[in-house]
Amino acid sequence: MFRPLRNVLRLLGIARTLARYDALFPAEWLPATGGLVFMARLLSGFRTAPDIRDLRDGERLARALQALGPSFIKFGQMLSTRADLVGETIAADLSTLQDQLPAFSSAEARAAIEAEFETSVDNLFEDFDDTPVAAASIAQVHIAKVRVHNETSDIPQENAPEDELRTVAVKVLRPGIERAIERDLELFRWIAETAERAQPRLRRLKPIAAVETFATSLRWEMDLRMEGAAASELRGNFEDDPLYVVPSVDWERTGQRILTTEWIDGIPIHDVDDLVAAGHDLEAVVRKASESFFLQVFRDGFFHADMHPGNAFVRADGALCVVDFGIMGRIDRPTRYFLADMLLGFITRDYPRVSDVHFQAGYIPPETDREVFQQAIRAIGEPIFDRPPNEISIARLLAQLFLVSERFDMEAQPQLLMLQKTMLIAEGVGRRLAPELNMWQLALPLIEDWMREHRGPEARLAEVAASTILAVQRLPDAVQAVERAATTISEGRLSLDLKTAGSPKWPLWLAIAVTAAISVVALLN
């Protein structure tokens, strides 16, 4: 009884904030919300926030979501991956949503650290700066110093003297953030449930499932041990590459609400003037960004999915350094194959190939008219690739593809939506640094080499050979299983008499054959 009333009151408060930023248009997309929109405008006194008159719809919505707090900022970032729901322009505007909030006090930060490790901050760090260097919706970051002789730390310490201090970054979750997030998630669930009940046509969008996926993602992001593990995995993937740097994790000073990593000292990647003044080759930076992104997606299937400019730096030696691993993406091998086949098909304008890989992956219902789908694919590719090379946007291509594919009942692929959002941000950074370059053209030789190695005739033959060898290796086990089954039946310990089902008794040879077939299938699968 109280849940609907509580949620309706909260919904009115949210709508009032949206009205202040003239960002109520998402509510207007849904039927029967005219009363809510009018009430929200009434509660806001029909007044809007200053300096929003000339902003686009998506920019106003981004401002409103930022004003609503952490959950809504994260929700806006999620929506930025769903151009199929909100449109390409709004999705692009939401991708610039700044995950920034006022800092909380140093006393609260120190209390959180001491509660996590049950000791004083002074025992953990030689020095702790009370002024945060960054404050986002989920956590804020402080600079501290530790001694390098601590053997349980993963902070690099080769040839370092015993008393040398190293700088670290200490990430601290906001006080009470878990409680605030859960309260907002409860509201999101109620809205999704109400939408599905009131508007059955919205069920195909799976709003309840979308909220649960969002909730799971947020909970993982609020466990900083998971972020530390992601950083460690990414670092391991590039351990042999001195020009792509992932900070090491100090596990002794890392817990559920605290993450301590090596401090990265460099120039933010979007500060073009500072990079030029420091003598950096901007084309080399873009080339490295392109190469590392390709390796993450295709080689490893594990990529940094929050690559906004504030999370990347260029070190004095030209190395590209990344931080903040709360949002990571994973792509399994079949999806990587699909993506490589599809992108290469687009780049070579082989539209039948692009169409075929969609059907082979099972993304498009088999009864769909292939010729019509291929025509839709061509309508996407031709306008994009009929442009100067430096203006070609693979992120835009993917966004258009998702929009068109949705009309053919293609279900949303969350991992590809996250990848598309990351590509969009990466393209923006690349164009800012070197407008005349196209980072995907730089990666094309790598893609072609990878395709030859993993998708060429030799690779396919190797796959078949590997499967055959595995089957042969399992064959003795299959034969033993057949022998055991035959012995069991012959000794009368297993009856296949189906008289109770109205069937005649099976011949012994048929029973053995059926049992053998089942055993072989089970073992080979």
Token pair listed for 350:
């082989």
**3-class SS letters over 178-206:** HHHHHHHHHHHHHHHHHHHHHCHHHHHHC
How many Å apart are CA 401 and CA 164, to the nearest integer? 54
Q: Which of 306, 369, 409, 449 is catalytic?
A: 306
Nearest to 440 by CA among 451, 426, 452, 450: 426
How many CB atoms lie under 10 A from the CB of residue 416? Answer: 20
**Phi/psi-derived region of residue 362, left when phi > 0, alpha when psi is between -120 and 50, beta in every other case:** left
What is residue 223's three-state secondary structure? coil
User: How far is residue 344's CA from residue 298's CA, in Å, rounded to a whole number?
Assistant: 13
Closest residue by Cα to residue 108 from 168, 174, 57:
174
Backbone angles phi, psi at 101, to 5 degrees: -140, 160
Cα separation, 170 vs 139, in Å, equals 10
Residue 169: beta bridge partners?
A: 143, 261
What gap in Å lies between CA 347 and CA 340, rounded to an integer? Answer: 10
Question: Got the DSSP string for 92-157?
Answer: HHHTT-----PPPPHHHHHHHHHHHHTS-HHHH-SEE-SS-SEE-SSEEEEEEEEETT-TT--S--
Residue 341 appears among annotated catalytic residues: no
Catalytic residues: 306
